[in-house]
Amino acid sequence: MGRVSVIRIENDNFNIRQICDSGQCFRMKELQDGSYEVISRDRYLRLRQEGRKISFYCSREEWEEIWFDYFDLGTNYQAFISRINPRDSYLLNAAGQAEGVRILKQDLWEMIVSFLISQQNNIKRIRHCIELLCEKYGDPCLTEEGVRYFSFPGPERFVGIPQDELMSCNLGYRSKYVVLTAQAVADGQVDLAKIASYPHWRAKKELLRCFGVGEKVAECICLFALHHLDAFPVDTHIRQALDRHYKRGFPHRRYKDCQGVLQQYIFYHELVGKKDK
């Protein structure tokens, strides 16, 4: 039995439940004992939160190499909230309910696949699709404590398979999108390393070349993988919220370079926050 090292931190703008429910990560879930697990690429993490105290069950090395950045812990999210117009009661309220939401720095390929699947789909089903995808095409892995899980399959795993094969993972018509995009990545037509190095506008332009990636999906990938905080994905829920509360348009100028964070606050508020009360 390997000894489990723990990293403990305190943070007022970190709420693992809110992050999990915010719909940016589909391989994060609450376990029976109230702790959470996160899987990214082939890495596994378990964490637990009590109030503002969070415990990450991983080594110091994993913490420094992966999870500190993954949870964007070098960024002060209260500073974003402070920028909200004090007269904008809607946004203040949304941020107040979602103050533990953060923008994760997730794997690029994983986000491309996840958001290809997300279209005309709901979070619960997206989770299930990705689970099936990992079980069938990922590698079986084992943590030191004996937890079994599957890694996220790389693009090379989908090369040479029929376009409709992923229908067996419930992807439906999106199967073709994932297979064709995987092939484009595998044969170098789409260069993930370059995309990761580009500024927002150019990364988005490249992502839009992928079959199945449209405006909204490209913005999600830019925000949740590339951490372009000026990305602002507009889906049907955000659209409705903007129509109701920002008839003159969202004040992008005022919130330069943090629109994505505010978008997530609004999204969480619209989908989750309102149900609590």
Partner DNA sequence: TAACAGGGACGTA
Partner DNA sequence: TACGTCCCTGTT
Binding site for DNA (CB under 7 A): 22-24, 115, 118-125, 128, 167, 170, 172-173, 211-218, 220, 233, 235-237, 267, 271
What are the start-end ranges of the E strands in 135-179? 140-142, 148-150
The residues facing 48 across adjacent strands are 55
Comparing CB distances to DNA, the nearer of 81 and 241 is: 241
Q: Would you state the structure tokens that stand for residue 122, as one six-digit string?
A: 């709901």
Rounded Cα–Cα distance for residues 184 and 216 (Å): 20
Smallest distance, DNA to C-beta of residue 170, A: 4
Smallest distance, DNA to C-beta of residue 113, A: 13
Comparing CB distances to DNA, the nearer of 29 and 52 is: 29
Comparing CB distances to DNA, the nearer of 155 and 233 is: 233
Q: Would you state the structure tokens that stand for residue 86, as one six-digit string?
A: 């004090």
Comparing CB distances to DNA, the nearer of 32 and 122 is: 122
CA 52 to chain centre: 22
The residues facing 56 across adjacent strands are 7, 47
Comparing CB distances to DNA, the nearer of 91 and 241 is: 241
Closest CA to 104 of 270, 239, 264, 274: 264
CA 100 to chain centre: 15
Smallest distance, DNA to C-beta of residue 212, A: 5
End-to-end CA gap in the chain: 44
Rounded Cα–Cα distance for residues 100 and 172 (Å): 34
Smallest distance, DNA to C-beta of residue 172, A: 3
The DSSP H or E segment spanning 55 is strand 53-57
Comparing CB distances to DNA, the nearer of 58 and 264 is: 264
Dihedrals φ, ψ of 45, to 5°?
A: -140, 140
Comparing CB distances to DNA, the nearer of 100 and 233 is: 233
Dihedrals φ, ψ of 242, to 5°?
A: -65, -40
Closest CA to 267 of 236, 230, 228, 223: 236
Smallest distance, DNA to C-beta of residue 218, A: 6
Which DSSP symbol is given to 124? H
The DSSP H or E segment spanning 36 is strand 36-40
Smallest distance, DNA to C-beta of residue 133, A: 13
Smallest distance, DNA to C-beta of residue 274, A: 13
